[in-house]
A and B are shown apart, each in its own frame.
Chain A
Amino acid sequence: DAGVTQSPTHLIKTRGQQVTLRCSPKSGHDTVSWYQQALGQGPQFIFQYYEEEERQRGNFPDRFSGHQFPNYSSELNVNALLLGDSALYLCASSSSGFRSSEQFFGPGTRLTVL
């Protein structure tokens, strides 16, 4: 049973560029959440997708956007990159049913903005 997968593993971009990160949820899960983990900090909730719609959003600017596909996979897009966007981006999947807050995390994508 494959867990949550993310791609790419590492990414280096320059300020002002745009980036797309990808996530495939654990088998049987239909909900995907994205988190940003800065160095030395705990993960911060960006947003959550369910039924191809953004269901909940954290305190992140509109430069951060996402998408969920019919197969439940998801993308995170960040426009106009800033140095402060450098972080580990984590995808987590869960089931919309019982105990839906129990989330399983992928290995993350390390984004470096120069």
Chain B
Amino acid sequence: AQSVSQHNHHVILSEAASLELGCNYSYGGTVNLFWYVQYPGQHLQLLLKYFSGDPLVKGIKGFEAEFIKSKFSFNLRKPSVQWSDTAEYFCAVNAPGGGNKLTFGTGTQLKVEL
């Protein structure tokens, strides 16, 4: 069965600090990878996605993620966080052989302090 691990459950950063959130998945075949963000009081929004091609993908609001197939990882990065980045971040995986369902990690709660 697919599983997704997010190692950091809570992260606190100061504004302008760099961010890296880890995501590892267990499925060994071809995967589609996603990061979603949930701002306080808002619904899940797609931050970025990887289907194929360049393993470094850029998303909205200055976020990027790197797919490293050999490490089964899809870590999320941002060079300089802002207070408005305070939110919960979810990594999700879809394995085409398993239909279109998404398997989510448990999420990382990010708090950015001024």
Chain A residues with a Cβ under 8 A of chain B: 31, 33, 35, 40-45, 48, 55-56, 58, 90, 92, 94, 99-108
Residues 32-58 of chain B, each 1 if its beta carbon lies under 8 Å from chain A, else 0: 101010000011111001010000000
Residue among B4, B32, B102 with max Cβ neighbours from chain A (10 Å): B102
Within 8 A of A (CB), among B93-107: 94, 96, 99-107
For A94, the chain B residues whose CB sits under 8 A away are 100
CA distance A100 to B51 in the complex (A): 11
Q: A31 touching B104 by the CB < 8 A rule?
A: no
Q: B44 touching A90 by the CB < 8 A rule?
A: yes
For B36, the chain A residues whose CB sits under 8 A away are 105
How many A-B contacts if CB must be within 8 Å? 61
Instruction: Find the B residue at minimum CB distance from A106.
Output: B43
Q: A56 touching B106 by the CB < 8 A rule?
A: no
Q: A100 touching B104 by the CB < 8 A rule?
A: no
Interface size of B by CB at 8 A reads 24
A29 to chain B, nearest CB (A): 12
For B51, the chain A residues whose CB sits under 8 A away are 99
Known: A43-B90, A101-B32. A33 touches B100 (CB 8 A): yes
Instruction: Find the B residue at minimum CB distance from A101.
Output: B94
CA distance A79 to B5 in the complex (A): 32
Select A45's contact among B46, B49, B102, beta carbons within 8 Å.
B102
Q: B43 touching A48 by the CB < 8 A rule?
A: no
Instruction: Find the B residue at minimum CB distance from A105.
Output: B44
Q: A48 touching B90 by the CB < 8 A rule?
A: no
Q: B102 touching A101 by the CB < 8 A rule?
A: yes
Known: A48-B99, A56-B99. A42 touches B43 (CB 8 A): no
CA distance A94 to B93 in the complex (A): 15
For A102, the chain B residues whose CB sits under 8 A away are 32, 34, 46, 49
